[in-house]
Amino acid sequence: MTLFRHPEDRIPVLLFACVFALDLTVYFMASSWWLPILWFGIGIIPKGWISAWNHHHQHLNMFRHAPLNRLLELIFGFQTGVTSHTWFLHHVVGHHVNYLDQEKDESRWKRDDGSTMGEVEYSLTTTLTAYPRAWQVGLRYPKALRVFLVMGVLQLALLGVLFWHNWFNALFVFLLPMVTSLYVTAWATYFHHVGLETREHAEASYNILHRGYNLMTGNLGYHAAHHAKQALHWSKLPQLHAQMAKDIPAAHYRQPGIPFVWSGSEEKLELTDEQVEALAQARPART
């Protein structure tokens, strides 16, 4: 029996492990002050992409066995600043349940007075409230909350050991990337739903069809499809999007962020009715 629930996860997990191996190599081997700082700068965008895969893992664990999932979550924690079960509580049983209601949404983009937050305000608010809101949701899910707490303590203990051994390298190789990746993740999510008030899944998300972006984020650009069926494996989201496309407004397509936007989007920002209909009628590829 394979260790993975879905074979498509094998290469991504291998890449996450390779990035973590590079983190450890820089941490233990770097003797020059500039190398950890350089690695911090180089790693920001790739670790932002890894944040998307951590998100996918929280929706549908990549391994069949709990110990392997917890080990992967430790790696994700050091790379993305989001520890085991944090996104499960905050996002899976929080945001996905409440995202159509801005009074309850754990990732809400509205202020208490009903006005829309700006990018920086939303990103800072979501970053600073991520763990408190995960805790609040966890009070309704005690089993998941226990894993969240135990793994969080373990993550902090390991980080403490790294700081005790070499505080400078630990700061730039682990802690600052963790904090920055969490902020970048919050900043990226601002563009998923901001300004969209509706009760329909097909109309409540912006979508990105850029192939490079979806390759690196595990099809996160098919966001309406993801919200319509959040437990669906990332590899199957394009097929579901094709089925939903006729109901997705043409204005609900956006360009990708950095670095993909530099080369331009591979899809138009607004699809014509004929293009949407053609995409909706496209036969899903066999898996």
pLDDT in tens, 151-191: 999 999 999 999 999 999 999 999 999 999 999 999 989 99
Clarify whether residues 209 and 189 are in a common domain.
Answer: no
Q: How confident is the model at residue 284 (pLDDT cuts 50, 70, 90)?
A: very low
Clarify whether residues 118 and 143 are in a common domain.
Answer: yes
Q: How confident is the model at residue 208 (pLDDT cuts 50, 70, 90)?
A: very high
For residues 66 and 64, give the distance between their C-alpha atoms in angstroms, rounded to a whole number: 7
Which of 163, 195, 227 terminates a domain? The answer is 195
Which pTM does this prediction carry?
Answer: 0.89
Clarify whether residues 118 and 20 are in a common domain.
Answer: yes
Which of 195, 230, 249 terminates a domain? The answer is 195
CB < 8 Å & 24+ apart, contacts of 145-151 = 145/85, 145/89, 147/70, 147/84, 147/85, 148/83, 148/84, 148/85, 148/86, 148/88, 148/89, 151/70, 151/73, 151/74, 151/77, 151/83, 151/84, 151/85
What average pLDDT does range 67-91 have in this prediction? 97
Q: What are the Cα distances from residue 226, in Å, to 1, 53, 96?
A: 28, 13, 10
Task: Give the three-class secondary structure for 110.
Answer: strand
Tokens of 59: 């929706």
* Confidence (pLDDT) at 34: 97
Clarify whether residues 156 and 240 are in a common domain.
Answer: no
What average pLDDT does range 244-272 have in this prediction? 74
Q: What are the Cα distances from residue 23, in Å, to 224, 226, 280?
A: 34, 31, 43
Which of 195, 222, 244 terminates a domain? The answer is 195
Clarify whether residues 183 and 203 are in a common domain.
Answer: no
Clarify whether residues 15 and 141 are in a common domain.
Answer: yes
Clarify whether residues 147 and 127 are in a common domain.
Answer: yes
Asked whether the predicted pLDDT for residue 279 surpasses 90, the reply is no
Q: What are the Cα distances from residue 76, in Å, to 58, 62, 172?
A: 11, 12, 16
* Confidence (pLDDT) at 266: 55
* Confidence (pLDDT) at 99: 94
Residue-number span of the structural domain to which 182 is assigned = 1-195
Among left, alpha and beta (phi > 0; psi -120 to 50; other), residue 114 is left
Locate the DSSP E strands across the chain. Answer: none
* Confidence (pLDDT) at 240: 94
* Confidence (pLDDT) at 278: 61
Clarify whether residues 67 and 121 are in a common domain.
Answer: yes
What is the residue whose two structure tokens read 């901001």?
194
For residues 248 and 54, give the distance between their C-alpha atoms in angstroms, rounded to a whole number: 26
Clarify whether residues 120 and 224 are in a common domain.
Answer: no
Domains held by the chain: number: 2
Clarify whether residues 74 and 141 are in a common domain.
Answer: yes
Residues in the chain: 287
Among left, alpha and beta (phi > 0; psi -120 to 50; other), residue 72 is alpha
For residues 218 and 60, give the distance between their C-alpha atoms in angstroms, rounded to a whole number: 13
